[in-house]
């Protein structure tokens, strides 16, 4: 399940091509989408590739993994704004098919249940894109999140808030909580591409490799998924054992 590429641009090429291929073969595909620095070069590459190939994206449906509580869709640091900037503002998406949790929902618990229900009615996710937090979170499912969790409100760990403060200007405060798809919605995706690039992910990738599946490292749950690929650049793979980094299966990816 490990695929190691030389650098982040090569990773972006691979993931973007996989997305293009998926949408071409199934224009009504349901995508699970992620945010974060890791996804930026991937979306940039995808926009470029889709434009050049005149890919029709108007029939696809998407569900984003998460959103900060307290930020409106117009807030420049919301994940909604991120998605418009990097992806949805380009190409010919049908905005009525693009879903993100509402960080301003009055009843957050109820909104979480409704988000999960809407996803279920759309048939679940065909292809889920995932990044990973430095502490092993996927979506915003922090260490310790139950594997049977569904879309819910989460209190962000201090580590995550510090990691994500780089996206917030100056002394602006990183929200304390978020709405995230749960571990169930993620694991129910028919196919998963988890991407980790850069040295800052090397430690958590090595831990993922070493550990059995444990709720203490949410990322490890992917070992139980039959169609999950872990896509790394060499920097993120740098703390894996040499035998893994050099194995022919990985080298040929
Ligand atoms: C964020 C997001 C995740 C993302 C992860 C990694 O907090 N909620 O969905 O995958 O952390 O972010 P980055 O790619 O910026 O390292």
Which class for 104: exposed (0-12), middle (13-18), buried (19 or more C-beta within 10 A)?
middle
**Catalytic residue chosen out of the listed positions 64, 66, 163, 164:** 66
User: From the CA of 91, how far away is ligand 1's center (Å)?
Assistant: 24
User: From the CA of 131, how far away is ligand 1's center (Å)?
Assistant: 5
Angle between the N-to-C axes of helices 39-52 and 8-25, in degrees from 0 to 180, rounded to the nearest 10:
50
CB distance 73 to 80 below 8 Å: yes
Q: Is the pLDDT of residue 251 over 80?
A: no
Pocket test for ligand 1, best of 11, 34, 153, 158 (most atoms within 8 A of CB): 34
Structure tokens at 119: 């996803």
What's the pLDDT band for 246 if we cut at 50, 70, 90?
confident
For residue range 194-222, what is the model confidence (pLDDT) as tens digits?
999 999 999 999 999 999 999 999 999 99
Q: Is 197 in the pocket of ligand 1 (CB under 6 A)?
A: no
For residue range 158-181, what is the model confidence (pLDDT) as tens digits?
999 999 998 997 667 899 999 999
pLDDT for residue 171: 62
List all residues 6 or more positions away from 234 whose beta carbon is below 8 Å from its beta carbon.
4, 5, 6, 7, 245
Average pLDDT in the chain: 95
* Statement: the pTM of the whole predicted model exceeds 0.85: yes
* Closest ligand 1 atom to Cα of 37: 15
């Amino acid at each position: 399940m490990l695929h190691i590429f030389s650098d982040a641009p090569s990773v972006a090429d691979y993931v973007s091509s996989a997305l293009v291929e998926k949408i071409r073969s199934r224009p009504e595909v349901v995508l699970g989408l992620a945010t974060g620095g890791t996804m930026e070069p991937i979306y940039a590459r995808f926009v470029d590739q889709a434009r050049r190939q005149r890919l029709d994206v108007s029939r696809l449906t998407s569900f984003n993994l998460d959103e900060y509580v307290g930020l409106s869709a117009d807030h420049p640091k919301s994940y909604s704004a991120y998605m418009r900037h990097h992806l949805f503002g380009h190409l010919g998406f049908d905005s009525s098919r693009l879903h993100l949790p509402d960080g301003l929902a009055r009843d957050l618990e109820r909104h979480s249940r409704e988000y999960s229900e809407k996803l279920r009615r759309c048939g679940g996710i065909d292809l889920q894109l995932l990044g990973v937090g430095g502490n092993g979170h996927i979506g915003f499912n922090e260490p310790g999140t139950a594997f049977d969790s569904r879309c819910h409100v989460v209190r962000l760990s201090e580590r995550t808030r510090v990691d994500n403060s780089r996206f917030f200007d100056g002394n602006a405060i990183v929200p304390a909580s978020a709405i995230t798809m749960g571990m169930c919605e993620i694991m129910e995706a028919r196919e998963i591409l988890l991407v980790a690039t850069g040295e800052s992910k090397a430690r958590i990738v090595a831990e993922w490799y070493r550990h059995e599946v444990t709720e203490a490292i949410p990322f490890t749950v992917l070992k139980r998924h039959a169609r999950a690929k872990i896509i790394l650049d060499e920097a993120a793979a740098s703390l894996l054992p040499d035998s893994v980094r050099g194995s022919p299966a990985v080298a040929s990816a």
